[in-house]
Amino acid sequence: MVATKSGIKYGANAGFVTARRELKQRPSDRKGSAHSKHNTFVKDLIREVAGFAPYERRIMELLKNSRDKRARKLGKKRLGTLRRSKKKVDELSNILAAARRH
């Protein structure tokens, strides 16, 4: 979170004091997250039918062997950004944890 501006030119909170604008939510802000039961159902159904991609299976294998950093690096190479990779690794580790519970 950004600290409030102090109105002073120098220092930790330097900058002119301005009022924050309330922007309406854009469709791109919602994209990718499961907002409805239907979307969640469809994603689960596709996962059940199609299974995992080869890179996802490799990441899961790395996670089983406690190679978390290597899994993130592989995900970054395949998905493009570290943020996407972390999200994918987290998702796959949750799937592995659920499989261990049952």
pLDDT digits (tens, 9 = 90+) for 9-48: 898 889 999 998 999 988 887 776 667 888 889 988 999 9
Residue 47 CA neighbour count, 13 Å, CB half: 11
pLDDT averaged over every residue in the chain? 91
Identify the pLDDT of residue 20: 87
Q: What is the mean pLDDT of residues 76-90?
A: 96
Percentage with pLDDT > 90 across the chain: 63
Higher-pLDDT residue of 68, 40: 68
CA dihedral defined by 53, 55, 57, 62, rounded to 10 degrees?
A: -170
Confidence of residue 6 (pLDDT cuts 50, 70, 90): confident
**CA–CA separation, 79 and 11 (whole Å):** 39
CB 90 within 8 A of CB 98: no
pTM for the complete prediction?
0.66
58-53-86 Cα angle (round to 5): 65
Higher-pLDDT residue of 99, 39: 99
Q: What is the mean pLDDT of residues 83-89?
A: 96
CB 5 within 8 A of CB 15: yes
**CA–CA separation, 25 and 22 (whole Å):** 9
Longest dimension (CA), the chain: 59
